[in-house]
Structure 1
Amino acid sequence: MTTMSAPFSGRLRRDDCRVADLRELLAHQPDVTPPHADHVEQQVPVYTAATLRETLGTESGATGIEAELAEVLATGAGIFVITGALEHEVVDRVSADLEEIIATEKAAGGEVGDHFAAAGANDRIWNALEKLAVTHPGDFVDYYANDLLALAARAWLGPGYQVTSQVNVVNPGGVGQTVHRDYHLGFTSPQAGERFPRHVHDLSPVLTLQGAVAHCDMPVETGPTLYLPHSQKYSHGYLAYWLEEFQEYFTQHHVQLPLAKGDAVFFNPALFHAAGSNTTTGVRRMANLLQISSAFGRAMEAVDRERVVTAIYPTLLARIAAGDDVGHAVAASAEGYAFPTNLDRDQPVDGMSPPTQADIVREALAEGASPQELADRLDRHAAARRSS
């Protein structure tokens, strides 16, 4: 996260963006390996799934590793990789599901578009989280029950986070993106960005976490994402990345890490980054792009979370009966924040906050309530939150 040198002191301006300032900042970053990282590759800490899970199993392990990952994202490189985060068998099943969704949407026709890349260069699934849950609830639960995806989300955002996902397939010959920062301020024009106070530029990155799960092996020639480590610390970055001189600097100084199927990468949304070009002739590079939002922010996509949890609830019951922990899947699907609501009808249960949709689902699961009973509870919960 950017450090505010002069908080609440007016606006940032494009005229004050200087490549020399960014170059000076990046030249004075420490070269350290975080305690739990396996190694550092091109300034990026790389963790192994086995090491992280071993640490999580120790007393106070979760707290310590979450603090370390948050420090990497805020004051370190701004990015880390987890190798082997998801099992290949689960990834392969979900990849097949996603290809099915892509084929269905292509058959239906309609316009296509993409952020920071030419329309049609990629195959994109918007709101992939909801579409996967509705069409393949079992695979959804197996995928999002993953403990390491939840670890990364908690480390940066704390509890109550909101998961959305957009699947991106860069086809052979697909040209990469231009350098950018991400949601929230990263999706505004530089003219709009100048209208926000400078402290909002510092706060925007802590509202979301960007992630990606590799759904195939991604050697460099397939165009895995390009990054500029430590660039999240540049105060004017939301205005600067639009400028040609900064785009040229990124082109000359970025790093690019190959990934293997099942690897996951997470990064501060203020990090300068861009998808690479796929120079192969036969590899469709598929990644599940995770945009995870703070409970205190709002997600980019409108997800019908009641529809999602209703779709996956029978699978959740079956997984619990088999002895599995489905808590992370509930967190990824149900609304975990209590507000906004109608406090005349939706009364707080602990003096502060009324129950969330996720609370309703967890309570139903604990009681073994039927799908119809859950649906009735969700209807009552939604009715109580309406303003009229």
Structure 2
Amino acid sequence: MATSLHPAAWLGEADCDLGEFRACVEQQTDPADYPHAAEVRSNVLVYAAEAVSGDRRALQAEVIRALTDGPGVVVFTGAFSGEVVTKANDAFFAIVEHERGDDRTAGDHFGAPGANDRIWNAAQKLALRDPQTYADYYANDTLALVCQAWLGPRYQVTSQVNTVNPGGAAQVPHRDYHLGFVPVEQLEQYPAHLHRMSPALTLQGAVAHCDMPIDSGPTMLLPFSQRFAGGYLAFHRPEFIDYFARHHVQIPLSTGDAVFFNPALYHGAGANVSRDIRRIANLLQVSSPFGRAMEVLDRTAMVRAVYPALRRMRAAGRPTHEVRNVVVATAEGYAFPTNLDSDPPVGSLAPRSQVDIVIDALHEDLTDEQLESALNDHHDRRMP
């Protein structure tokens, strides 16, 4: 029997109890626990960017508590200057116009392709188009303070600019990268300690690049939901989606405000019901530097070498799980990082991985030459 000292090794149906979820999220943020915060709005902690110039370690400790055991979300008002945001917007809008001219299909995790204006890999594109603005933007010390608090002194910043046009629909509530992108049918295969660890690997942030009143659809948030142990398994379920719809909060933002949250917090972009506001945000996906293997392997070369043996195993009637074990040990099993311009998540949260390519090839009994073509196509889609 699982106890607080010996928690269950796996999560399942019993961990998706709506009553337990309600008990987890239906609490109030106590301002006394967060003395550096300027105020609490709808259970969300709001800090003034000026607080960053004070006792840095004490503020970071407070942010850690807030993101871990507190409401799971903090807002820093005035984090980015209007000047640097305006310059970045000029570059971003130019990038959008350029990419529209390429006639590419810009896949989105939730919105229909083409409904909004999405810039994948916006950090690199800004750096190459306008290096000075990029440098001024990412010199920001509020961003650094929160990233250092959650991920340590070294981290990997990526960003995706999303412009939700008037009439843009709301997202369904979700948790985020990594486990939030795993197909629901696979989630129970990940042990409970990985469900607990996944939120510590990334930080979610968003910088308002325009004023965002409620009717423009700022991010919907459910404070304290990151604390629910079965949250990755549960967020797909209708009763949890309905609860989120009735209990989420939204915080209006001004240009330059920044919101940061635990990636396990239930959240989703709101519907833009305004008449004329193009709601533009720079979505920050900041990752731990530690999610890497010790050695560099040419997994594509390994797949090429082993594929004939895999075909022979399959033809000889070896158990399917044994063949799959070899594929997983050999091929790249994760879809990320990738070039989301040419390898977009159309119809899914993640593109196909190399493991998917090889398993499909075996199922279709592709020849070595046909697999080589599939591997080359997959490689080319992933490259910058």
TM-score, length of structure 2 as denominator length: 0.74
Q: Show CA shifts across 1:262-285 (max 9, x none).
A: 000000000000000000121100
Q: State yes or no: 1:52 paired with 2:52.
A: yes
Distance 2:6 2:95 in 1: 46
Q: State yes or no: 1:13 paired with 2:18.
A: no
Superposition CA RMSD, Å: 1.7
Query: 2:246 is matched with which residue: 252, 263, 277?
Result: 252
Query: 2:259 is matched with which residue: 261, 265, 270?
Result: 265
Distance 1:94 1:5 in 2: 48
| Aligned amino acid, residue 41 of structure 1 | R
> Percent sequence identity over matched residues?
51
**How big is the shift at 1:25?**
1.5
Distance 2:89 2:41 in 1: 28
Aligned to 2:128: 134
Are the aligned partners of 1:36 and 1:65 in contact in 2 as well (CA < 8 Å)? yes
| Aligned amino acid, residue 146 of structure 2 | A
| Aligned amino acid, residue 17 of structure 2 | R
Aligned to 2:346: none
Between 1:243-252 and 1:18-27, the stretch displaced more is: 18-27
1:29–1:5 CA distance, 2 compared to 1 (3 A)? farther
Are the aligned partners of 1:176 and 1:223 in contact in 2 as well (CA < 8 Å)? yes
Q: State yes or no: 1:238 paired with 2:235.
A: no
**How big is the shift at 1:210?**
0.1
Aligned to 2:42: 42
Are the aligned partners of 1:7 and 1:199 in contact in 2 as well (CA < 8 Å)? no
Aligned to 2:61: 67
Distance 2:272 2:104 in 1: 25
Distance 2:111 2:117 in 1: 11
Q: Which blocks of at least 5 consecutive residues in structure 1 are unaligned?
A: 56-60, 304-388
**How big is the shift at 1:30?**
5.0
1:330-369 pair list within 5 angstroms: none
Aligned to 1:203: 197
1:289-304 pair list within 5 angstroms: 289-297=283-291, 300-302=336-338
| Aligned amino acid, residue 103 of structure 1 | E
Query: 2:150 is matched with which residue: 145, 156, 169?
Result: 156
1:114–1:14 CA distance, 2 compared to 1 (3 A)? farther
| Aligned amino acid, residue 37 of structure 2 | A
Are the aligned partners of 1:7 and 1:198 in contact in 2 as well (CA < 8 Å)? no
Q: Show CA shifts across 1:293-335 (max 9, x none).
A: 01212695448xxxxxxxxxxxxxxxxxxxxxxxxxxxxxxxx
Are the aligned partners of 2:147 and 2:286 in contact in 1 as well (CA < 8 Å)? yes
1:104–1:44 CA distance, 2 compared to 1 (3 A)? same
Query: 2:103 is matched with which residue: 84, 104, 109?
Result: 109
Distance 2:336 2:121 in 1: 9
Are the aligned partners of 2:37 and 2:45 in contact in 1 as well (CA < 8 Å)? yes
Query: 2:71 is matched with which residue: 67, 73, 77?
Result: 77
Q: Show CA shifts across 1:231-255 (max 9, x none).
A: 0000000010000110000000000
Are the aligned partners of 2:25 and 2:222 in contact in 1 as well (CA < 8 Å)? no
Q: Show CA shifts across 1:140-176 (max 9, x none).
A: 0000001111001001111111000000000011001
Distance 1:120 1:73 in 2: 33
